[in-house]
Amino acid sequence: MSSGNTGVRNFQVSVNNNALVIPVLEAELCQHTDKITSTSAVPQLDTPMADHEDGPPLKGAKLDEEGLGSVVASHYNNLEEKGLKERSTSRIYHLRNSNNWIKSYLINYCLDQVRERQVDHYPVSVFDLGCGKGGDLLKWSKGSIRHLVCADIAQTSMDQCRERYTNTRKRTGGGHGGGFTAEFIVADCTKKRIKPMLENPSRQVDLVSCQFAFHYCFESLAQTETMLRNVSENLKRGGYFVATIPNAYEIMSRLKNSRSHRFGNEVYTVEFPEDRSEDPPIFGDRYNFFLEGVVNCPEFLVHPPTLIKLAKKWDLELEWKRDFSTVFSDALKDTLCQRLLSVMNVLETYPTKEEQVTETEEEYTHARQFLESRDEVTAIRTLTSSEWEALCIYQAWVFRKVR
């Protein structure tokens, strides 16, 4: 990961579980406003805030004999591809960009860890588990990897991923943006072994990345075991596994405080069955996650102690896990991520001459209070309180294979 502060200022940041504010310098304010009004600056995204858009309602979806896999696959196969301009006007535009920015940080961090441990500087290979439409292809290209394995449950998403990869290689002549080889596998990674499906089954990768998809395996013990097996047996000793997972403890805390079977705000809702047991199972503890205009899909709580124990069985030792609020703070200390903050339109400027993403003034209470307490600051970069609350549901987990 890039370090140092050459050409990049030190941010005076206020980050906690309730709000995020970053003071904006006058010169930055002008530059940021120019970027935010240009649709050409909108990044390609593949987070739950982009790839998982507008599928069919699943609230009443019924479990078949094989579980929810077919339901989830159907959901993603029926998604509508949104254009850049339409995504840029979304209520959760900056939330989507924030999640994508955090992914960039995590991927670069892990690639750096891999290379620091290398002796002969061999080319890096990656397994993108639950790759969706391939929105992380540019990240892998920027990371100068040599080979990529893409696997996903949804055929339509994989077709779009393959097409995106092919088009990128055509545009670049196989150079920057497409300088790595790739293979594409359509399979439910919670139920099928991936190794026999590889072009070279003896190949092991340096990094496995599972972004916003791991929680599906906690439908059952067998599915979790299969998922972890797919991670471990395709990962070199000393390699890394990075996953972004909903924080079960945070979800249960918010559920308890809601005094209901559901909670949320104007951009997201988490809803459990009304008849949920007071002593829920470790596996199969199902809820529905709704995100404004994007996600409406069944998910499962991930029990952290169980995940850590099962991962050890597959030689995966937990290096660290951190809430997204902490990861956000860590990323702000990184030179590359500081630059990407504006390039990717991660945060909204407040106040601004442009329209804010919402007319609900309460969403900017934290911003106004910060400005009132700092006479020298005239504008900040931030997320609305609802977006920040949604972002802070997630955690990043980093494992290393020890044997």
Q: Count CA within 13 A, CB hemisphere, residue 297.
A: 29
Does 100 show up as a binding residue in the annotation? yes
How far, rounded to the nearest angstrom, does the alpha carbon of residue 138 sit from its chain's CA centroid? 15
- Residue found under tokens 């044997």: 403
- C-alpha 375/C-alpha 147 separation (Å) is 52
Q: Which two tokens stand for residue 347?
A: 């945060």
Judge whether 99 is annotated as a binding position.
Answer: yes
152 annotated to bind ligand: yes
What is the rounded CA–CA span in Å between residue 230 and residue 67?
19
Collapse the DSSP code of 38 into the 3-class scheme (helix H, G, I; strand E, B; otherwise coil) and give the result.
coil
Check the annotation: does 130 bind a ligand. yes
Which residue is it, tokens 């997630």?
394
Is 275 annotated to bind ligand? Answer: no
35-42 contacts: CB < 8 A, separation 24 or more? 35/342, 35/343, 35/345, 36/345, 36/348, 36/349, 36/352, 36/354, 37/354, 39/84, 39/85, 39/88, 41/343, 41/345, 42/84, 42/85, 42/87, 42/88, 42/345
In this structure, are residues 158 and 152 in contact, taking their beta carbons and an 8 Å threshold?
yes
| Residue 103 marked ligand-binding | yes
Amino acid at 350: Y
Q: Report the amino acid identity of residue 21.
A: V
Give the other-Cβ count within 10 Å of 77's Cβ: 16
Q: Give the tokens for residue 176.
A: 């920057």
Residue bearing tokens 């479990």: 63
> Which pair of structure tokens corresponds to residue 308?
């850590």
Q: What are the Cα distances from residue 122, in Å, to 114, 125, 144, 147, 341?
A: 10, 9, 12, 12, 31
Residue type, 276: R
Residue 172 neighbours by CB distance under 10 Å: 13
DSSP 328-392: HHHHHTSHHHHHHHHHTT-SEEES-SSPPS-S-GGGGHHHHHHHHT-TT---EEE--HHHHHHHT
Annotated binding site for S-adenosyl-L-methionine: 103, 130, 152, 188, 211, 216
Binding site: residue ranges? 99-100, 103, 130, 152, 188, 211, 216
Q: Binding site membership for mRNA: which residues?
A: 99-100
